[in-house]
Chain A
Amino acid sequence: MTKPAGGPGTTLLGAAALFGMVTTVVLGIRLPPTMEQGPYARLIAIHPPLAWASYVAFGVCALASVGWLVPRTRSPRWDQVAAAGAEVGVLFCTLTLITGSIWGRPTWGVWWTWDARLTSTALLEALFLGYLALRRVAYDPVTRARRAAICALVAVVDVPIVHFSVDWWRTLHQGRSLAQLTPQKDLDGSYVSVMLLGFVAMTLLCSWLIVRRSRVEAMEQALEADTFEVALEERRAESVPVS
């Protein structure tokens, strides 16, 4: 029997992610209220890190897709990692949109607005949902992997558009969160450190989820191949002429 948990490295990664997440949540929820936003600013410990983790996951999906498309490096492993990256990325992107909406309601007065950052993020979510839908269409594994890889490379183009949308267009959304970490910005030190911790924790969690999910994907593909072989054998047996 396999070890679905993976080796000690994966366990260590999972433990570090859990510790980081618990610490981020405990410290984030206890951040002092700010003059401008009151208690809502506490969402800074999770909202930008969630967005960052979705970039990481979609980036992993795109890199793995390149790994599959290049004939010299082609391996089913790349396809499995790409599938895992897309699914984990969609989860983080969904949570980014939800936490952003929750933050926007008391500070902007609306749950949603067609702002450049919000719209490009929603488009990113839609593109990778399309990627996941494409993977469910029944093709042979090679065709499915090729089409999915091309789709991922098209979809990932939206990641830099999301990131730089606040610079390229006039938006309601605040500037890039990573820019808030520079010393000349007047973000309180406790906010900076908890947000940084959030970035580390979400990156660790995202990595652990991709590792675990890609193993699940590998087992699902192996099971799919076994089922196909059994069905093929049954068809062959049916077609044997009776003497």
Chain B
Amino acid sequence: MSESYVWAGYGITVGALSLYAAWVVRRGRVLARSLPPDDAEDQ
């Protein structure tokens, strides 16, 4: 039981940061494909 708080803290942190990082990378790729090449290169 005592260890579960520690695992929960680490698990939630690693999980949330990983999910957000993956979302940012994926969103960047999707937008880069949907923008005209000129606009995309400006970013």
Contact = CB atoms under 8 A, between A and B. Distances in A.
A212 B28 contact: yes
Given A4-B25, A21-B17, A209-B20, A40 B39 contact: no
B9 A43 contact: yes
Contacts of A223: 31, 34-35, 39
A99 interface: yes
Interface stretch (A64-72, A101-109, A112-120, A139-147): A101-109
A4 B28 contact: yes
Interface string B7-18: 111101110110
Q: Which 5 residue pairs are nearest across A and B when measured between Cβ atoms?
A: A4-B28, A2-B40, A219-B31, A218-B43, A2-B32
Interface of A: 1-5, 21, 25, 28-29, 38-40, 42-43, 46-47, 50, 91, 94-95, 98-99, 102-103, 105-106, 205, 209, 212-213, 215-216, 218-220, 222-223, 226
Interface of B: 2-3, 5-10, 12-14, 16-17, 20-21, 24-25, 27-29, 31-37, 39-43
